[in-house]
């Protein structure tokens, strides 16, 4: 496999802004590089650098080697990493994939009791510290053998064959909505079957359903933190970033197996399937943005008249600057600075920022000056939101629905909001025909809503 290289100690130094000037809101990373073997080996439950994939899949040859392995399995774990903190438009930067390994011949070792156990070739137990008395338990007995990969969507490789094979599989995800939307936008990949471990945990009544909480609950492993704000578009990636990325899928297959078994035991597997199908449908919907509302950033509600007019113009200027520079808008000017600038301009003062270039400063001031000259007829209209007061009958129906929901939650040990949140109950109470679009069959059944 072709090496992309590794980043050494990376981590949270100072970036520069898009115009090469110091900027307190950005950071720059330093790197060291080292060479490693190109072998990909199965990972143990404890992720160590010795068990990480040695490079990203970034060539047609590497991809061709991966596809048959995906074809040979029914279930695939996937996660994604995106770059929204370092560029204007959020882009897909990594696709992490974990696959179960078919039965292979591996060495057999004897534990202290003389019992034979299977281990993966090349994987040791160093550093693995499970909780509880069974500290000598076999890793493969916990999770089975699996392969972990990272695909590089930023490389010049056609990933449509990968999408075609993944669409035929059941995809295991943790909190599927973000990943499904990102995969659809970035790769045109539309999942047909998913197993969302967040939904599965909540269907079982588990209250702490973060990935870290579920991994600790089922495997006694503490997942490390960090790299959440990393620049995933940078190449090469540091070993720490690769470890963080791989951890997001490494535990999903064994976790899904355990949750699947528990769902079958309590006869709720169909509930999961219904909710996962709804998640697929919801992720396929485009979110419509009201262009006249986008500039109304937090804190803008108190602005009126000319102040609001200048803020709108400065927000539009910032969007153009950010898009041109391919940087997030906050790299150009943060929201609180944008609000302050609008107030200053409207009061006759001239705000300035030392990290602006002369060109940017001129465009900034011109945007404000043009806004100041607009007639009152072109000022933003104050948006007033008036709620519709529910009828006595709707109030009665809402109370009855809440009573049914709360009773079901107590009896089944489920979160009330997972069965039906307050806003959903009120919407159905006002218009019962919308229940089918807001709730899946098992939720409607618990609320005794007829189809």
- Given 1.10.150, 1.10.3470, 2.30.30, 2.60.450, which CATH number is that of 300-378? 1.10.150
For the residues 283-296, what does the mean pLDDT come to?
85
Alpha helices in 150-193, H assignment, sequence order: 160-166, 176-187
Q: What is the pTM of this model?
A: 0.78
Which helix (H) or strand (E) covers residue 100, if one does? strand 91-100
Q: How far apart are CA 211 and CA 259, in angstroms?
A: 13
Q: Is 336 helix (H, G, I), strand (E, B) or coil?
A: helix
Domain with CATH 1.10.150 in the chain: 300-378
Look over the chain and give the mean of its residue pLDDT values, rounded to a whole number.
82
Class of 6-283 in CATH: alpha beta
Q: Using CA atoms in the order 24, 29, 30, 34, what is the torsion angle rounded to 10 degrees?
A: 170
Among 41-50, 217-226, 378-387, the range of highest mean pLDDT: 217-226
Judged against a pLDDT cut of 50, whether residue 36 lies above it is answered with no
User: Where does the pLDDT of residue 288 fall: very low under 50, low under 70, confident under 90, or very high at 90 and above?
Assistant: confident
How sure is the predictor about 241, in pLDDT bands with cuts at 50, 70 and 90?
Answer: very high
pLDDT on residue 381? 86
Contacts of 407 by beta carbon, 8 Å cutoff, 6+ apart:
none
Given a cut of 80, whether residue 123 has pLDDT beyond it is no
Place of tokens 């920022």: 353
- Residue 250 belongs to what H/E stretch? helix 239-250
Determine the number of helices (DSSP H) and then strands (DSSP E) in the chain.
18, 9
Quickly state the pLDDT bin for 103 (edges 50, 70, 90).
low
Q: Average pLDDT for residues 183-208, to the nearest whole number?
A: 97
> What's the helix, strand, coil split of the chain in %, to 5?
45, 10, 45
Q: 35 exposed, middle or buried (CB, 10 Å; 0-12, 13-18, 19+)?
A: exposed
- Report helix, strand or coil for 79: strand
Instruction: Assess whether pLDDT exceeds 50 at residue 287.
Output: yes
Band of pLDDT at residue 229, cut at 50, 70 and 90: confident
State the Cα–Cα distance between residues 145 and 163, nearest whole angstrom.
24
pLDDT digits (tens, 9 = 90+) for 403-430: 999 999 999 999 999 999 999 999 999 9
Which comes out higher in pLDDT, residue 131 or 446?
Answer: 446
pLDDT band at 3 (very low <50, low <70, confident <90, very high): very low
Per residue in 139-148, pLDDT (tens digit) is: 333 445 889 9
pLDDT reading at 444 higher than 90: yes
Q: Is 315 exposed, middle or buried (0-12, 13-18, 19+ CB in 10 A)?
A: buried
146-151, strands of its sheet edge to edge: 146-151, 91-100, 75-83, 170-173, 193-196
Long-range contacts of the stretch 321-324 (C-beta < 8 A, 24+): 321/360, 321/363, 322/88, 323/88, 323/89
Q: Which of 24, 92, 28, 82 is nearest to 330 (CA)?
A: 24
Please measure the distance between the N-terminal and C-terminal CA atoms of the chain and give it in whole angstroms. 54
Whose tokens are 């509930």? That residue is: 271
How far apart (Å, rounded) are the C-alpha atoms in residues 400 and 402? 5
Q: When comparing pLDDT for 109 and 70, which is higher? A: 70
Mean pLDDT over 146-154 rounds to 95
Phi, psi for residue 77 in degrees, rounded to 5? -95, 135
Across the range 24-46, mean pLDDT stands at 36
The total number of residues written for the chain in this structure: 451
pLDDT at 84: 83
Model pLDDT for residues 163-176, shown as the tens digit of each residue: 999 999 999 999 99
Mean pLDDT across 198-209: 98
Burial code of 345-372, b = ≥16 C-beta within 10 A, e = fewer?
A: bbeeeebeeebbeeebeeebbebbeebe
- Mean pLDDT is highest, among 45-54, 106-115, 246-255, for 246-255
* Res 178: pLDDT: 96
Cα–Cα distance for residue pair 172/157, rounded to 1 Å: 24
Give the C-alpha separation, 381 to 309, whole Å.
10
CB 165 within 8 A of CB 242: no
Element (H, E) at 140: helix 139-143
5 pLDDT band, cuts 50/70/90, is very low
Q: What confidence score (pLDDT) does residue 2 get?
A: 31
- For the chain, give the percent of residues with pLDDT over 90: 69
The pLDDT of residue 120 is 31
Q: Which residues contact 366 (CB under 8 A, 6 or more apart)?
A: none
The token duo for 425 is: 């109950």
H-type helices in 373-434, by residue range?
Answer: 392-412, 416-419, 422-430
How sure is the predictor about 228, in pLDDT bands with cuts at 50, 70 and 90? low
Of the ranges 105-114, 148-157, 238-247, which one carries the lowest mean pLDDT score? 105-114
Q: Give mean pLDDT, residues 218-232.
A: 85
75 beta partners = 170
- Please, which pLDDT band fits residue 382 given cuts at 50, 70 and 90? confident
Mean pLDDT across 7-33: 39
Q: What's the whole-number mean pLDDT along residues 188-198?
A: 97
- Structure tokens belonging to residue 37: 């073997």
The residue ranking higher by pLDDT, 224 or 63, is 63
Q: What is the spatial distance between Cα 398 and Cα 28, in angstroms, rounded to a whole number?
A: 54
pLDDT tens-digit readout, 291-347:
778 999 999 999 999 999 999 999 999 999 999 999 999 999 999 999 999 999 999
Which of 111-125, 209-223, 281-295 has the least mean pLDDT? 111-125
How many C-beta atoms lie closer than 10 Å to residue 126's C-beta? 9
Q: Where in the chain is the domain with CATH 3.30.420.10?
A: 6-283
What are the residues whose beta carbons fall under 8 Å from the beta carbon of 226, sequence distance 6 or more?
A: 11, 240, 244
According to DSSP, the β-strands at 75-83 and 116-118 are: unpaired
Question: Is 128 in contact with 46 (CB distance < 8 Å)?
Answer: yes
Q: Going by C-beta distance under 8 Å and a sequence separation of 6 or more, which residues neighbour residue 141?
A: 117, 118
Task: Compare 12 and 190 and report the one with higher pLDDT.
Answer: 190
Confidence at 22, pLDDT banded by 50, 70, 90: very low
- Contacts of residue 16, defined as CB under 8 A and 6 or more positions apart, other chains included, come to 22, 23, 26, 28
Given a cut of 60, whether residue 28 has pLDDT beyond it is no
């Amino acid at each position: 496999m072709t090496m992309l290289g590794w980043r050494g100690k990376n981590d949270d130094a100072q970036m520069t802004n898009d115009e090469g000037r110091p900027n307190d809101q950005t950071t720059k990373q330093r790197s060291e590089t080292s060479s490693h073997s190109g072998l990909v080996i199965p990972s143990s439950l404890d992720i160590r650098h010795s068990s990480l994939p040695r490079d990203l899949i970034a060539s047609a040859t590497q991809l061709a080697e991966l596809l048959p392995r995906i074809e040979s399995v029914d279930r695939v774990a996937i996660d994604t990493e995106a770059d929204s903190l370092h560029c204007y438009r959020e882009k897909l930067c990594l696709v992490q994939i974990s696959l179960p390994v078919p039965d292979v011949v591996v060495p057999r070792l004897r534990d202290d009791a003389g019992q034979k156990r299977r281990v993966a070739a090349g994987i040791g137990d160093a550093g693995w510290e499970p909780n509880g008395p069974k500290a000598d338990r076999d890793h493969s007995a916990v999770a089975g053998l699996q392969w972990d990969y990272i695909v590089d969507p930023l490389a010049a490789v056609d990933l449509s064959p990968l999408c075609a094979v993944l669409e035929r599989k059941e995809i295991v995800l943790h909190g599927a909505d973000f990943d499904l939307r990102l995969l659809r936008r970035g790769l045109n990949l539309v999942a047909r079957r998913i197993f969302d471990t967040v939904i599965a945990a909540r269907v079982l009544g588990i209250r702490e359903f973060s990935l870290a909480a579920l991994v600790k609950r089922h495997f006694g492993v503490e997942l490390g933190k960090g790299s959440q704000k990393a620049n995933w578009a940078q190449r090469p990636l540091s070993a720490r970033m690769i470890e963080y990325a791989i951890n997001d899928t490494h535990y999903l297959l064994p976790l899904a197996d355990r949750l699947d078994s528990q769902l079958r035991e309590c006869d709720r597997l169909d509930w999961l399937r219904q909710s996962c199908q709804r998640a697929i449908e919801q992720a396929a919907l485009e979110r419509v943005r009201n262009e006249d509302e986008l500039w109304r950033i937090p804190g803008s509600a108190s602005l009126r008249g000319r102040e609001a007019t200048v803020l709108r113009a400065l927000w539009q200027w910032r969007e153009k600057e950010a898009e041109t520079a391919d940087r997030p808008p906050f790299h150009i000017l943060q929201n609180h600075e944008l609000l302050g600038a609008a107030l200053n301009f409207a009061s006759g003062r001239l705000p300035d920022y030392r990290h602006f270039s002369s060109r940017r400063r001129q465009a900034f001031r011109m945007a404000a000056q043009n806004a100041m000259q607009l007639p009152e007829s072109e000022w933003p209209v104050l948006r007033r939101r008036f709620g519709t007061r529910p009828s006595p009958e709707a109030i009665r129906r809402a109370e009855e629905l809440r009573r049914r929901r709360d009773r079901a939650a107590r009896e089944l040990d489920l979160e009330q909001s997972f069965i039906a949140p307050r806003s959903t109950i009120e919407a159905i109470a006002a218009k019962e025909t919308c229940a089918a679009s807001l709730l899946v069959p098992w939720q409607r059944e618990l609320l005794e809503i007829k189809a």
